[in-house]
Structure 1
């Protein structure tokens, strides 16, 4: 094809720009054609943008909930790292006792050393057994929560979300191709228009650019088709986020049910333990937890140091109370105590007194005797001797 020399340079410059619509690399990793205003960017519709925003929000919050649930179920960061490594190596995590089970084991071993027949040793055995049961309940709760809640969240982050991210990147590449084709067609049409004026002297050049325009239009149609197809695939995946929310909602209900069952079982075990201690240690402590000065107040009872409450709960006439034939105990006074009224007995630290309980008496108090003196004494001020 012969092209007039007057337009050869113009055609070469135009052809160079046409074949590189996004322009040359400026040397710092930036394409001049990617600068704002030089390439027309294909915009997504508002609905599509909303789907993208909803998907990003779902991913970010799911990731935060997943990480914090891991911390809740396994507070030890070293153990979490160990479990992660075993999981990546596709190996089973070694079974180790949890904190409750370990505590129960120590208590029962201590009971063997102190003597299981002693009050302290027998109580250690009971409490240790309860701790081990609590540990077993916790282990079951962790396994259930991991399967019903953590695993679905992980599957979304490592499965569905990776697929969505891959298709979004592919859509972005299709958009860049489409924008490139639009820019190329625009420049080809501009060159064709410029050469249409001197048509009489350079018909070959005009014909060249007409062919380039046709070619650019064909490439644009192909790029538009591929972009539309990829946009539809990505849109369907993004709309699937709604079903993901429904699935995670079901998993959340199962997680709450697992927590409810866990705390209920723990509460029942502790109630049984408390009843067992109250019944078996009645001959040691009128109240199994009387050694804790704050127990009666924490449980809603009255303070043993409140004389008004003592009068209300104990209407017995101390002078008429007789010591039982059996069941009296020696007790060492821990602190000085001044009697609030004539029904009580004043105490001096480190002295020994005889104590016993009578039916109908407040469990935070005992009857104490010192020689011919007798009166109510607070249990928290005493150390009962076997």
Structure 2
């Protein structure tokens, strides 16, 4: 496996900056770019659809198969992409018990005849129930699962991608804003590093001129005989 340390460090840095931006937005310390209202409405509808689909799916599974162990077995077979073995319904099992009892009591007895009649219809009811369970699973539960495992995963992936891009945009906008503020502050503040040497040079030049001026006045005064003034 090619382990790229630089890429790992870069990804960690991006994740950290996004986390900081997200936290500051939640605390109200950073600006957040709002999405298009129509898109926000679609995302809200998608969340509502997902939540209600999960509830309807779970409750329908409980209705069709009240036995939790059987539901777990069906879930495992579905995840392993294997065909679930055919399971006899309770109605079919009851009908079979009636037919077996009728054989023991005798088909020519009133009790046996009644058991045969009721048992046959009970088996038909059980077969209809099994067919109903199969039809409900294929035509009703499968579309719900396909939405949760297909469409919703795609929506979630695209939403995360959009949110990451939005965070990256706000991070860049925040950095640009800070850079402009720093530039404006630097332009408004005088540069003392440059003004101090310049003032020092001017003061030194003035100090050097004063003795020369005094010396010139003294020389002129001695030649003319008039006293010199400092």
TM-score, scaled to structure 1:
0.43
Residue 199 of structure 1: CA displacement? 7.1
Matched, 1:47 2:38: yes
Note if contact 2:107-2:116 (Cα within 8 Å) is conserved in structure 1: yes
Where does structure 1 differ by over 3 angstroms across 4 or more consecutive aligned residues?
A: 29-35, 197-203
* 190-199 vs 67-76, which moves further: 190-199
1:154 maps to 145
Provide the rounded CA distance (Å) in 2 between the counterparts of 1:110 and 1:47. Answer: 67
Greater relative contact order structure (CA < 8 Å, 6+ sep): 2
SS in 2 for 1:196: helix
2:53 maps to 62
Change in CA separation of 1:35 and 1:97 when aligned onto 2, cut-off 3 Å: closer
Residue 201 of structure 1: CA displacement? 6.8
Provide the rounded CA distance (Å) in 2 between the counterparts of 1:97 and 1:131. Answer: 12
Matched, 1:95 2:86: yes
Residue 37 of structure 1: CA displacement? 3.2
Residue 46 of structure 1: CA displacement? 2.4
Provide the rounded CA distance (Å) in 1 between the counterparts of 2:125 and 2:135. Answer: 15
- Answer with 1 or 2: which has the greater Rg: 2
More strand by share: 1
Note if contact 2:25-2:32 (Cα within 8 Å) is conserved in structure 1: no
Matched, 1:190 2:181: yes
SS in 2 for 1:136: helix
Provide the rounded CA distance (Å) in 2 between the counterparts of 1:165 and 1:157. Answer: 10
Note if contact 2:22-2:167 (Cα within 8 Å) is conserved in structure 1: no
2:225 maps to none
Matched, 1:178 2:178: no
Q: How large is the Cα RMSD of the aligned pairs?
A: 2.6
For structure 1, the 5+ residue unaligned runs are 1-19, 204-386
For structure 2, the 5+ residue unaligned runs are 1-13, 195-230
Provide the rounded CA distance (Å) in 1 between the counterparts of 2:149 and 2:129. Answer: 27
2:96 maps to 105
Note if contact 2:95-2:118 (Cα within 8 Å) is conserved in structure 1: yes
SS in 1 for 2:188: coil
- Aligned runs of 1:112-123 on 2, under 5 Å? 112-123=103-114
Provide the rounded CA distance (Å) in 1 between the counterparts of 2:119 and 2:158. Answer: 56
- Aligned runs of 1:118-133 on 2, under 5 Å? 118-133=109-124
Change in CA separation of 1:147 and 1:181 when aligned onto 2, cut-off 3 Å: same
The count of aligned residue pairs is: 179
1:81 maps to 72
Change in CA separation of 1:87 and 1:35 when aligned onto 2, cut-off 3 Å: closer
More helix by share: 2
TM-score, scaled to structure 2:
0.71
Provide the rounded CA distance (Å) in 1 between the counterparts of 2:184 and 2:156. Answer: 42
